[in-house]
Amino acid sequence: MSRTLFGRPLRGVAFDVGVSALVVLSILVTAAQPATSAVPGGWAVALVGLAMAVALLFRRGHPSLVATVVAGLALIQVLAGWGPLPYDLAVLIALYSVVKYADRLRDGVLAGAVAAVGVLLAASQAGANVVWWATAIYFGLVTGGVWLAALNVRTRRLYVLSLEERAATLEREREAEARAAVVGERARIARELHDVVAHSMAVMIVQADGARLLFDRDPETARHAVKVVADTGRQALEEMRRLVDVLREPQPPEPATDPDATAPTGDPERRRATVAELPALVGRFRDAGLRVRYRAEDVPATLPPGLDLTVYRVVQEALTNALKHAGVGADVTVGLGVEDDLVVRVTDDGRGRTPVRPAPSGGHGLVGMRERVGVYDGRLVAGPRSGGGWQVEVRLPLPSTPDPEVIAA
């Protein structure tokens, strides 16, 4: 956890204090020397240097203001005729800070121009035994080097900040797309489960009416009809619980123009697919170019409609991904079996022919499968195989079969 002081990182505050301490140290060096015409002493010189050191404490937050204050103090030094002094290091630090931290580079350019004038003034007061233009060249090279170094650091700093901002924006967009995919898939699951529950309610009504009419004439048939109503109601209640779980997060109502709202019963997107239709689905992918092997062992003859649909959609999405990513001609194995849970495995060898023009990716296939499997408290594992290719494995808990003797009781 990063610590702060006065709203600034403690590490930055400590560094700025160290920089100011370096300037104070140069003041002490100046004060320790005997006063001469070249190196003046006295409290006035120390006071100007100390003011520069204090101003440097605020160089990150207010770089332009600090540069202005330091330039003004340096002008006082020039007007007093003190010449260059060791604590003039503060001028270079202020110049570096304004170029690096100022919001606008224009402030850094202006500070460079002022520093150029200061170089000429400082060279003119360097002393009688020194050629002024040689001193001006030396001071100019040092000042120009500091300005260019600050410009390079500023450019790199802004580049890193732009990369961080771009990465944060991409992360937000990716999260928004994932949330939108989850919401869309949940809405589709809700519509499909609505069909399942509506079908169950219709069966219950028909069986209840039949039991009422046959109660006196054929008690055995009526008893069987009541059992069907109880089993169907129990299953419908379970489906309704899952439906409520899917819709637990509030969602805005779909617009009236939603194509699913007016889709006919025969629309493939609305029709309830089942495990029994998987051979036909596999055949269509064989026609598309995949070499698919399909086997189903010990799969219950009847599954709850919602679970039936989930298995179908998982296999459909896995085969679609195999066709898009493994390519035409890839070997794919689709297996259904019971290992305490209902297990669906779809594997490919990844050795198909890469399409010349790859099909566009929906981008949320795994997200949709994970949502579907999660509705039934199942588990989804998808990833590359050690020998090459890809594998999707889904485990779905099988519903418990009620004891007939308990129902009869």
- Assess whether pLDDT exceeds 60 at residue 264: no
Q: What is the pLDDT of residue 254?
A: 44
Q: What is the pLDDT of residue 379?
A: 92
pLDDT band at 221 (very low <50, low <70, confident <90, very high): confident
pLDDT in tens, 110-167: 988 988 888 888 887 766 566 777 888 888 899 889 999 999 999 998 899 899 999 9
CATH of region 273-396: 3.30.565.10
Model pTM score: 0.44
What are the structural domain ranges in the chain?
4-130, 170-259, 273-396
Q: What is the pLDDT of residue 336?
A: 93
pLDDT in tens, 91-116: 899 999 999 888 888 888 998 898 88
- Give the 3-state secondary structure of the chain: CCCEECCEEHHHHHHHHHHHHHHHHHHHHHHHCCCCCCCCCCHHHHHHHHHHHHHHHHCCCCHHHHHHHHHHHHHHHHHCCCCCCHHHHHHHHHHHHHHHHCCCHHHHHHHHHHHHHHHHHHHHCCCCCCCHHHHHHHHHHHHHHHHHHHHHHHHHHHHHHHHHHHHHHHHHHHHHHHHHHHHHHHHHHHHHHHHHHHHHHHHHHHHHHHHHHHCCCCHHHHHHHHHHHHHHHHHHHHHHHHHHHHCCCCCCCCCCCCHHHCCCCCCCCCCCCCHHHHHHHHHHHHHCCCEEEEEECCCCCCCCHHHHHHHHHHHHHHHHHHHHHHCECCEEEEEEEEECEEEEEEEECCCCECCCCCCCCCCCHHHHHHHHHHHCCCEEEEEECCCCCEEEEEEECCCCCCCHHHHHC
pLDDT in tens, 179-190: 888 787 777 777
Query: Which class in CATH covers the domain with range 170-259?
Result: mainly alpha
pLDDT band at 295 (very low <50, low <70, confident <90, very high): very high
